[in-house]
Chain A
Amino acid sequence: MGLEQYKGDMEMCCRCSTCKFIPMQRVSGHDFVNVCPSISRFNFHSYSGGGRLNIGAAMLRDGFQYTDRLLDIVYNCQMCGACGVSCNYAMDMEVLEPIQEFRIRCVADGKTHPALDKAIAGLRAHGSMVPPTGKRGDWAIGLGLKDATREKVDVLYHAGCLTSYDPSLQKLARATAKILQKAGVNFGIAGDAEICCGGRAYQMGYQEDFLRQARENMALIKQAGIKTVVTACAEGYQAFKVLYDKFKLRGDLEVLHISEFVDRLIQEGRLKPRKKVGLSVTYHDPCRLGRLGEPWVHWEGKKVPGDRFVFDPPKTYRRGTHGVYDPPRNVLKSLPGVTLTEMTRIKEYAWCCGAGGGVSESNPEFAQWTARERIREAESTGAEALVTACSWCEKAFDEAIRETGSALKVYDIVELVEAAIS
């Protein structure tokens, strides 16, 4: 069905522009009111969530006309879903799904972006969204971790492409291993056998590549008898938890983000952060852990003929309400000496780090611009450090800080937990 299934949703757009802003009730001043990086950077309405729907509806009606400008619009979007949350405060209609389908359509029509083609070529060749810097499991050398493909474990830790291969981020995987060891969790990794979750390929519009990755991952998981997967990054979390479910591939696999798992371990008393960390922090909600980490809702139905855009059976919209917001905050609050000050744009209406949707590949300048805006917001809280829960966010913020010379430090939540338990 592709884009066609969202014809009615796209036609529902009343062009109110609410999708450009955080929900009105949350507006707390003149600054930090924008929620969509794309319209904020490129300004023409067509770059907003609503504008994308207007174009999609027109193209379904009048035929697809690809121009350089159209592709510029399509690929300058982080697929962050913030537009959908703001719209769905009031409206009953899908926003991100048609934007996603539009991309998939572009890729199917061969209207791709060269930088994304390159990233996907790498995925097909190496099973990774980032160029390999060695063997995938090298980060675990010397840690004595179990190989989940051979030994029986309760939990599979999926480190993900960036955390596995980026020398400056491998510390996150190592910190996680220490945390899980300390808590006495029977866990393992797939090591060199681990492959990309496919989530970023999906965001980029390469649905078939995503599905291949998903099937291979689930085959590995089934074969190893894994019941629970814990992911290092938000990208992996959304892929395993939401997207695999969307395509009915997940079965009853339990998927947890590391922040959820650590929160659980602390609450169960299996992990006791005792060492004072001494840091004032602010927390960045990764899009794919927060609003887009909301569980998938399976639904099939038909529009009820008549005056309202309603369906039989009624449709439950994913409005960002049930994302993972509290567990990382619980963890931060449990760390001795850590004080948390919130930014203006948080939880379901958080500003994206800039890396999503393949933008870090297709337009690094825009990705950086988006990250710099978040750094500015984090600085406004007066916190010493910006904490996140995704290696893609950490990388984006590290680069922005290098560029701006900001004194802000950036940590993944596992780094602070490691400091508090060691």
Chain B
Amino acid sequence: MALSKDVYRAFEDVVGAEYICDDPVIMPSYHQTEFAAVLLPQNTAEVQAIIRLCNKFSLPFRPVCTGWTGKFAKGSLYLDLRRMNRIIEINEKNMYAVVEPYVISAQLQAELMKGGLHLNVKGAGSNCSAMLRGHGHLDQTTSGDDRNHLAIEWVTPAGEIVRSGSLGSSDEWFCGDGPGPSLRSILTSAVPPGVTPGVFTKAAMKVYHWPGPAKFPIQGVSPNYSLSEIPPNFMARYYSFPSVAKMFEAENKIGESEIAFELMGFNVAMVAANITTSNEEEEETFRRLSREVQGPGFFVIVAGNSAADFAYKRRVLEHIVAEAGGKSLASLEDPRLEGILLCQCIRISASIRETFRPGGMFSSIPVMGQRDLTIQWAIGAGKAKEPLIAKGLIVDDGGAFFGWGVEQGHLGKTEIFCKFDPQNPEAKAAVEAWHKEQSTRAFKERYFALLAGQDEEIGRGLSNYHIWWNEIQKELDPNRVSPEGGALV
């Protein structure tokens, strides 16, 4: 498992003695995996040199940013990118920001807000890389997944530096598709495996107009942060509806009228998690809010560019909600809670309180597609949670799911997860079985779900995509040093 002295020295010559470690004692902190070594490159040249050595010595590698839990192959090299943390450029005119992988979304967002801009903070949380691929609360107005990557600097698994889009023909980062090589399907594809081999060392992220303050007026001491005032022309509400059909009708109309800054199909369990500061408070709040709502619902943030714009958007929103029989959750109209949720959803993206806090782990199935159809699938997946809840193996969230439309449309993401204690083998096994069963069902019903280890089946369902992808990988990665691609969480 350990690197030979010569191989170790070769890598040490690249990063310096301080930035390589193969002591097994540190490995429990690297996903409990026996990596051959952990390296901390500080720039593109070092990443390139490391990858070339990986090819020379046939050593697989994985690049990672802030981390989260994950599964990794033993004996590979772990490229911890935390020293690559510069914001290279914020281009207000062309509305993009160029970042290195370890700039976290909270940092970039804070800088952007000062200039009236913002970005899509991914659902993984603002504590994760700003160049992460994926979806987030702001998908409604900022889109998700690959749409926000513009030009990219990429070190291929063979150790070549490729500059995509406009960067390929000039020094400009403004476009991912040209003039210059697009490579979109390879670099930012959302289809399985959804990861790109090699390492993104810089990426231009698309940024958006921000109608809010340069900084949220936060008061209080952790964990009791709140806003001293709701920013002018901002409003956050939770609406519940008599039925799923009515909820979707309202969601669709809100999308069509383009009046929501954020529409997040939270369930009340997630609302409860976000506004509370402990497990006990969360459980109690969930029970209380469950009694207040009339059915499924969503959370909306309206952000006006002016008082008149705000008034218009608010009027349209209230009209749509009323037409669909929606009801605002009264307790969230309390400005304190409204402010907490507003800030929590925009600045934090909520993830940890609602996922890890209860039992330490969650297992999720995200499904992309036409929202009203994927919701039907999710209702089934929620029902399948009920026996696990009854046995006390997973947290009681009422079998809830969540989701939202992307780009104000009817296509979107629907997701459902189980929160559990991974130290409980019975719970772990039950959740794994639920995950397999429900994601397989999603796939069989022809929804876009990621199925681990079922590339063949997915590939057949996606124009034999997997065959093409394997061919591309052989060309890009002849020595198979980046078989799992680069997770930038």
Q: Which residues of A contact B (CB under 8 A)?
A: 8, 11-18, 20-21, 23-30, 33, 43-46, 48, 50-52, 54-55, 57-59, 65, 67, 69-70, 73, 85-86, 88-92, 305-310, 314, 317, 319-323, 325, 347-349
For A347, the chain B residues whose CB sits under 8 A away are 221
28 interchain pairs (CB within 8 A)?
A11-B360, A14-B68, A14-B69, A14-B352, A16-B125, A17-B67, A23-B222, A24-B348, A25-B218, A25-B225, A25-B347, A27-B104, A27-B347, A44-B29, A45-B67, A48-B29, A51-B29, A55-B26, A58-B32, A67-B25, A70-B23, A89-B225, A307-B421, A309-B360, A314-B278, A314-B280, A320-B221, A322-B221
Assess whether B360 is in contact with A54, with CB atoms less than 8 Å apart: no
CB-based contact B38/A44 at 8 Å: yes
Q: B394 interface residue, CB < 8 Å from A?
A: yes
Measured between C-beta atoms, what is the minimum distance from A406 to chain B in Å?
A: 24
CB nearest to A12 among chain B residues: B360
Interface size on B, residues (CB 8 A): 73
Bound together, the chains give a CA A348 to CA B225 distance in angstroms of 12
B356 x A16 contact (CB < 8 A)? yes
CB distance from A47 to the nearest CB of B (A): 9
Q: In the complex, which residues of chain A have a beta carbon less than 8 angstroms from the beta carbon of B348?
A: 24-25
| Bound-state Cα–Cα, A48 to B108, Å | 22
Q: Is B194 an interface residue (CB 8 A)?
A: no
Residues 273-284 of chain B, each 1 if its beta carbon lies under 8 Å from chain A, else 0: 000011110010
Could you say which residues of chain B place their CB within 8 Å of the CB of A23?
A: 222, 225
**Are A88 and B25 in contact, CB atoms less than 8 angstroms apart?**
no
Which of A44, A86, A307, A317 has most chain B Cβ within 10 Å?
A: A307
What CA separation (Å) do A422 and B244 show in the bound complex? 73
- Picked from A26, A48, A307, A319, the residue with its CB within 8 Å of the CB of B395 is A307
User: Across the interface, which residues of B come within 8 angstroms of A308, CB to CB?
Assistant: 279, 283, 358-359, 395, 421
The A-contacting residues of B in range 160-188, CB under 8 angstroms, are: none
Contact of B104 among A21, A58, A319 (CB under 8 A): A21
**Complex: A325 Cα to B103 Cα, angstroms:** 30
Task: Check B360–A27 contact: CB distance below 8 A.
Answer: no
CA distance A58 to B34 in the complex (A): 12
Interface positions of B (Cβ within 8 A of A): 19, 21, 23-26, 28-32, 38, 40, 66-69, 80, 82-83, 87, 103-104, 106-111, 114, 125-128, 215-216, 218, 221-225, 277-280, 283, 343-344, 347-348, 351-353, 355-361, 392-396, 419-424, 427
Residue of B nearest to A314 (CB): B280
The answer to whether B25 touches A69 (Cβ under 8 A) is: yes
Tell me which of B29, B360, B396 has the highest count of chain A C-beta atoms within 10 A of its own C-beta: B29
Cβ-closest chain A residue relative to B343: A25
**In the complex with contacts A30-B107, A306-B392, A308-B421, A16-B352 CB distance below 8 A:** yes
Q: Is the CB of B360 within 8 A of A45?
A: no
Evaluate whether A14 and B278 lie within 8 angstroms (CB atoms) in the complex, with A33-B107, A58-B28, A319-B222 already known. no
Q: How far is the CB of B148 from chain A (nearest CB, A)?
A: 19
The one of B28, B104, B420 that contacts A55, using a Cβ cutoff of 8 Å: B28
Q: Given that A14-B68, A44-B38 are known contacts, is A89 also in contact with B222, CB under 8 Å in the complex? A: yes
B347 / chain A contacts, CB cutoff of 8 Å:
24-25, 27
| Interface-centre pick from A51, A306, A320 (highest chain B CB count, 10 A) | A306
- A17 engages B356 (CB within 8 Å): no
Inter-chain CB contacts under 8 Å: number: 194
B465 → chain A, closest Cβ, in Å? 32
Residue of B nearest to A7 (CB): B423
CA distance A16 to B31 in the complex (A): 11
In the complex, are the beta carbons of A88 and B29 less than 8 A apart? no
Please state if B352 and A43 are interface contacts (CB–CB under 8 Å).
no
For B392, list chain A residues within 8 Å (CB).
305-307
In the bound complex, how far is the Cα of B29 from the Cα of A43, in angstroms? 12
A51–B67 Cα distance when bound, in Å, is 11
Q: Which residue of B has the minimal Cβ distance to A317?
A: B278
Tell me which residues across on chain A come within 8 A of B393, comparing CB atoms: 307
Apart from A21-B106, A46-B30: 5 A-B pairs, beta carbons within 8 A: A14-B68, A24-B126, A85-B222, A307-B393, A308-B359
Chain A residues within 8 Å of B352, by CB: 14, 16, 18, 90-91
Max chain A Cβ within 10 angstroms of own Cβ: one of B31, B83, B222: B222
Q: Is the CB of A88 within 8 A of B67?
A: no
Taken together as a complex, chains A and B put the C-alpha atoms of A48 and B280 apart, in Å, by 28
CA distance A12 to B31 in the complex (A): 13
A162 to chain B minimum Cβ distance, whole angstroms, is 28
Interface residue from B109, B353, B359 paired with A307 (Cβ < 8 Å): B359
Closest Cβ of chain B: how far from A262's Cβ, in Å? Answer: 22
Chain B residue nearest to A71 in the complex (CB) = B25
**In the complex, what residues of A have CB within 8 A of residue B40's CB?**
43-44
User: Shortest distance in angstroms between B469's beta carbon and chain A's nearest beta carbon?
Assistant: 29
Q: Is the CB of B127 within 8 A of A18?
A: yes
B394 contacts A307, CB within 8 Å? Answer: yes
> A317–B277 Cα gap in the complex (Å)?
10
Are A43 and B83 in touch, CB under 8 angstroms? Answer: yes
Which residue in A18, A70, A349 is a CB contact (below 8 Å) of B25?
A: A70
Most A CB contacts (10 A, CB to CB) among B103, B216, B225, B357 go to B357
Q: CB < 8 Å: which of A17, A29, A54, A319 contacts B32?
A: A54
Q: Which of A8, A28, A314 neighbours the largest number of chain B CB atoms within 10 Å of its CB?
A: A28
| A25 close to B216 (CB less than 8 A) | yes
B229 vs chain A, min Cβ distance (A): 15
Q: Which residues of chain A are within 8 angstroms of B421 by Cβ–Cβ distance? A: 306-309
Contacting residues, chain A, for B215 (C-beta < 8 A) = 28
Closest residue to B392 on the A side, CB-wise? A306
Chain B residues within 8 Å of A16, by CB? 66-68, 125, 127, 351-352, 356
Please, which residue of chain B has its CB at the minimum distance from the CB of A11? B423
Distance in Å: Cβ of B264 to nearest Cβ of chain A = 17
Q: How far is the CB of A13 from chain B (nearest CB, A)?
A: 8
CB distance from B132 to the nearest CB of A (A): 13
Say whether A309 contacts B359, CB under 8 Å: yes
Residue of B nearest to A308 (CB): B358
Assess the A55–B29 pair: CB atoms within 8 A.
yes
Q: Indicate if the CB atoms of B69 and A43 lie closer than 8 Å.
A: no
Indicate if the CB atoms of B29 and A45 lie closer than 8 Å.
Answer: yes
What is the CA–CA distance of A319 and B421 in the complex, to the nearest angstrom?
22
Verify A14–B221 contact, CB threshold 8 A. no
Residue of B nearest to A303 (CB): B421
In the complex the two chains form, is A88's CB within 8 Å of B222's CB? yes
Q: Give Cα distance in the complex from A54 to B67, angstroms.
A: 13
The answer to whether B23 and A69 have CB atoms under 8 Å apart is: yes
Measured between C-beta atoms, what is the minimum distance from B142 to chain A in Å? 18
A45 to chain B, nearest CB (A): 5
Query: Which of B38, B128, B343, B361 makes the CB contact (< 8 A) with A14?
Result: B361
Chain B's nearest CB lies how many Å from the CB of A373?
15
